[in-house]
Amino acid sequence: MWTIKFRFEGSNVFFGKAAKTFNLSLTGYPVSCYEKNKQLFLNLIGTMQGGEKDKQKFIRFIKKSDYALKLEANNDFLNILIKEDKKFKPFYSPYFIYLSPVKIDKSGAYFYHLGSWQREEITKLLDFIGKNYKYKLQNLKQEKINNISILGVQPNLTEKQRKVYELAVKEGYYKYPKRVKIKQLAKILGISYSTFQQHLKYAEKKISEFFVGKY
């Protein structure tokens, strides 16, 4: 299979612009795509990472837009039906497999990792991107894939568990040697040592069970 990794500057594209405006990182992918009355529609699922107030502003922005027809938000998880501009149809070729979710960082940059049996379909997408956006090709090769990361199949962490775990990763708690102690992390969030430790232990337990199962 042909696989490709690339990024492009998307701060003027709807979700990229929103990510930059509200200082959020977004992760997700389309789960289905269809055309009706010469319009292109997408069902998207994803998650958002950032400040709580910024997330609420983002959700209100999405709800007010004509771009999103339906929106369900549950904690940080999003389920959205959008009416897409048909010029973006090359992104949604039925020949593509999303090997990992699309990531949008706080600058509005998009990161893609796709697979296809047909290299010509990848070439068509790159031609479209090259004509419209600044992009960087990170990898294009023929290889046997050994894993696909699907957003919907993930550890079911609570909001507090996710928050403490993400902070621990970000601040280097899992680096060797550790760059920070739990006491310092708890202070950053303004909670007690025992509360932070409890949420972190539950998060670690769910994550380990997700990857290796329960014993």
Percent of the chain with pLDDT over 70: 95
Q: What residues have CB less than 8 Å from 187, skipping those under 6 apart? A: none
| Residue 179, helix vs strand vs coil | coil
Which pLDDT tens digit goes with each residue over 114-149?
999 999 999 999 999 999 999 999 999 999 988 787
Residue pair 106/20 in contact by the 8 Å Cβ criterion: yes
Output the CA–CA distances (angstroms, integers) from residue 94 to 87, 117, 153, in the order listed.
16, 11, 22
How would you classify residue 115: left for phi > 0, otherwise alpha for psi between -120 and 50, otherwise beta?
A: beta
Average pLDDT, the chain: 91
Above 70 in pLDDT, residue 27? yes
Alpha-carbon distance of 121 to 124, in angstroms, equals 5
Check whether 89 has a pLDDT greater than 70.
yes
Q: What is the pLDDT of residue 154?
A: 65
CA pair distance 153, 6, nearest whole angstrom: 24
Residue 182's Cβ-count burial label (10 Å; 0-12, 13-18, 19+) is middle
Reply yes or no on whether the pLDDT at 87 is more than 80.
Answer: yes
Distance of CA 158 to the CA centre of its chain: 18
Q: Is 122 exposed, middle or buried (0-12, 13-18, 19+ CB in 10 A)?
A: buried
In DSSP terms, which residues pair with 74 in a beta bridge? 77
**Residue 134: CA count within 13 A, CB half-sphere:** 5
Using 50, 70 and 90 to split pLDDT, how confident is the model at 82? Answer: very high
Quick one: pLDDT band at residue 213, thresholds 50, 70, 90? low
